[in-house]
């Protein structure tokens, strides 16, 4: 059979008519899947070695193919690779270029392989790199939060439920909450990596490969844990990708909550934090404005992370086995989610480092709004009153204090004792912000010593890579 003409399709033999230009453009994925090239080359090198082990390539042919793939890799890395959209995707572009470099020997590379197991492999290899990168980037964000927490150890602020002042907490405690959320995100990515590290190559188009490929050796060669057990499943499975997008959606949700907290804290009404000019923008009409755009966009970009997850889930829903072209639609959402997350993770550490916390304002707010009323009830509990009764008594004390427009600390002992004879002079020690914080010393609480322990734990976690 004649070698393919430079612009011909690899499937030219079966066809008598060329594709309609609109159809050709419509089916091409090269514009976005070209970024898979390093993974595609890695997979092809390993496949060539497997073919040699199966005696389908001689050692010399293997060397020629590997050399050719290296040359192709240099062109891709150097930006001189002649991409051809009519060759549809990155796989066929690389394969055709290899043939141009090494001649018809290059045509042996696709022996026993299909683009269906090839793309499934490429995506897994690609995600392995991306997950490693995301883990490092997430550790940077954790470290930035930890630095700010360490710097502000001891600064109280109001803790909220229902966005109403609830109980005092340490600012460090609030910041560390995000470190532990991000730790779970890292764990989710690690779990995802475990399931992504299964070799689909050697599944052929759908039924398996007809050549004696040692798939376990190939799996080891590529650093995978094992080879897949069912060829139909292997070429159809995009669970690993859905999991990855899901982990990214949860991560995006966490980051959006952090961004929302900061945006709220930067309002004049809260006044807890000021963004540096470097991470804010102005208004084109209102000269006084300083808007927290970076934080708002972190909050907002969560929407596309969810959208991408739902797009891929929806594409996969109801797809008959095995490969279908619909699955080509998995890539743009995947890449968009990766780019979105990496952009957020890049901007966050310097933005966090540049925040100016208004600790005086936080400290002042921490004790306002009867935030130590629970401590007052706990005081009565320690003197033997059942908690439900203590709650009732303190509710009435608070009602009285509100009517008298005074904070709890400014009621007299005599006033306290009108509500319960259990109140004694030491009640005032129990309702300070410091006492409230100190009391919550059980692990995971906001007492300074508990937060110091959590800080040490957070540092250990952020120091450990995947």
Residues forming the active site:
162, 283
Using the structure block, give the residue that is written with the tokens 């690690």. Answer: 190
| 348 CA to centre of own chain | 13
Nearer to ligand ARG, 315 or 441 (CB): 315
Cα gap 96→6, rounded to integer Å: 8
Subset of 363-402 contacting ligand ARG (CB under 6 A): none
What's the closest the beta carbon of residue 351 comes to ligand ARG, in angstroms? Answer: 36
What's the closest the beta carbon of residue 310 comes to ligand ARG, in angstroms? Answer: 19
Q: What is the CA radius of gyration of the chain?
A: 31
Nearer to ligand ARG, 33 or 61 (CB): 33
The span of 114-122, 175-183, 289-297, 448-456 binding ligand ARG (CB under 6 A) equals 114-122
Burial-class residue 16 by CB neighbours within 10 Å (0-12, 13-18, 19+): exposed
Nearer to ligand ARG, 116 or 203 (CB): 116
Query: Which of 325, 405, 412, 460 touches ligand ARG (CB under 6 A)?
Result: 325
Using the structure block, give the residue that is written with the tokens 């400014």. Answer: 410
What's the closest the beta carbon of residue 117 comes to ligand ARG, in angstroms? Answer: 9
Subset of 18-47 contacting ligand ARG (CB under 6 A): 29, 33
Which of 177-191 are b and which e, b meaning 16 or more Cβ less than 10 Å from the residue's Cβ? bbbbbbbebbebbee
Subset of 240-299 contacting ligand ARG (CB under 6 A): none
Q: How many residues touch ligand ARG (CB under 6 A)?
A: 10
The span of 111-119, 141-149, 359-367, 376-384 binding ligand ARG (CB under 6 A) equals 111-119
Residue 327 touches ligand ARG, criterion: CB under 6 A: yes
Query: Which of 44, 116, 308, 337 touches ligand ARG (CB under 6 A)?
Result: 116
Query: Which of 101, 115, 139, 215 touches ligand ARG (CB under 6 A)?
Result: 115
Query: Which of 328, 372, 420, 446 touches ligand ARG (CB under 6 A)?
Result: 328
Query: Which of 69, 119, 155, 455 touches ligand ARG (CB under 6 A)?
Result: 119
Nearer to ligand ARG, 116 or 446 (CB): 116
What's the closest the beta carbon of residue 91 comes to ligand ARG, in angstroms? Answer: 6
Nearer to ligand ARG, 116 or 340 (CB): 116
Give every CB contact of residue 13 below 8 A, 6+ residues apart in sequence: 1
Question: Binding string to ligand ARG for residues 91 to 110, with x set by CB under 6 A, is what?
Answer: --------------------
Query: Which of 272, 323, 357, 419 touches ligand ARG (CB under 6 A)?
Result: 323
What's the closest the beta carbon of residue 32 comes to ligand ARG, in angstroms? Answer: 9
What's the closest the beta carbon of residue 241 comes to ligand ARG, in angstroms? Answer: 11
Question: Binding string to ligand ARG for residues 53 to 92, with x set by CB under 6 A, is what?
Answer: ------------------------------------x---
What's the closest the beta carbon of residue 103 comes to ligand ARG, in angstroms? Answer: 25
Cα gap 169→171, rounded to integer Å: 6
The span of 144-152, 185-193, 321-329, 420-428 binding ligand ARG (CB under 6 A) equals 321-329
Nearer to ligand ARG, 153 or 206 (CB): 206
- Chain contacts with ligand ARG (rule: CB under 6 A): 29, 33, 89, 115-116, 119, 323, 325, 327-328
């Amino acid at each position: 059979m004649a070698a393919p003409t430079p612009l011909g399709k690899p499937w030219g033999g079966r066809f008598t008519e060329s594709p309609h230009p609109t159809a050709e453009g419509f089916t091409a994925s090269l514009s976005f899947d070209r970024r898979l090239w390093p993974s595609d080359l890695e997979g092809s090198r390993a496949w060539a070695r497997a073919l040699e082990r199966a005696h389908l390539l001689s050692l010399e042919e293997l060397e020629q193919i590997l050399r050719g793939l290296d040359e192709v890799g240099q062109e891709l890395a150097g930006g001189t690779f002649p991409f051809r959209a009519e060759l549809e995707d990155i796989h066929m572009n690389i394969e055709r270029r290899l043939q141009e470099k090494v001649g018809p020997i290059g045509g042996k590379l696709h022996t026993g392989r299909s683009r269906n197991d090839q793309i499934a492999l490429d995506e897994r290899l690609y995600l392995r790199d991306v997950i490693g990168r995301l883990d490092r980037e997430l550790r940077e964000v954790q470290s930035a939060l930890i630095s700010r927490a360490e710097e502000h150890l001891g600064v109280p602020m109001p803790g909220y439920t229902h966005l109403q002042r609830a109980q005092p907490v340490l600012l460090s405690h609030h910041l560390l909450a995000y470190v532990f959320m991000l730790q779970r995100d890292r764990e989710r990515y690690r779990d995802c990596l475990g399931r992504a590290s299964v070799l689909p190559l050697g599944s052929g188009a759908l039924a398996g490969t007809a050549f004696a490929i040692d798939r376990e050796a190939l799996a080891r060669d590529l650093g995978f844990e094992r080879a897949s057990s069912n060829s139909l499943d292997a070429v159809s499975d995009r669970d690993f990708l859905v999991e990855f997008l899901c982990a990214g959606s949860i991560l995006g949700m966490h980051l959006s909550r952090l961004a929302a907290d900061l945006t709220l804290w930067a309002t004049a009404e809260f006044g807890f934090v000021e963004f540096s000019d470097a991470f804010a923008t102005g208004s084109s009409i209102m000269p006084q404005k300083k808007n927290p755009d970076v934080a708002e966009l972190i909050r907002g970009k969560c929407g596309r992370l969810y959208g991408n997850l739902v797009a891929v889930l929806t594409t996969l829903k109801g797809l008959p086995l095995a490969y279908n072209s619909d699955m080509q639609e998995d890539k743009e959402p995947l890449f968009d989610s990766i780019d979105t997350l990496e952009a957020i993770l890049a901007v966050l550490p310097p933005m966090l480092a540049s925040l100016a916390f208004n600790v005086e304002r936080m400290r002042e707010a921490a004790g306002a709004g009867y935030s130590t009323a629970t401590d007052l009830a706990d005081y009565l509990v320690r003197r033997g009153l059942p908690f439900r009764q203590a709650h009732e008594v303190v509710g009435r004390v608070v009602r009285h204090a509100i009517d008298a427009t005074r904070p709890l600390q400014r009621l007299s002992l005599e006033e306290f004792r009108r509500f319960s004879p259990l109140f004694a002079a030491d009640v005032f020690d129990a309702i300070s912000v410091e006492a409230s914080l100190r009391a919550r010393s059980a692990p995971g609480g906001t007492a300074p010593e508990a937060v110091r322990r959590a800080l040490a734990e957070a540092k250990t976690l952020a120091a450990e890579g995947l």
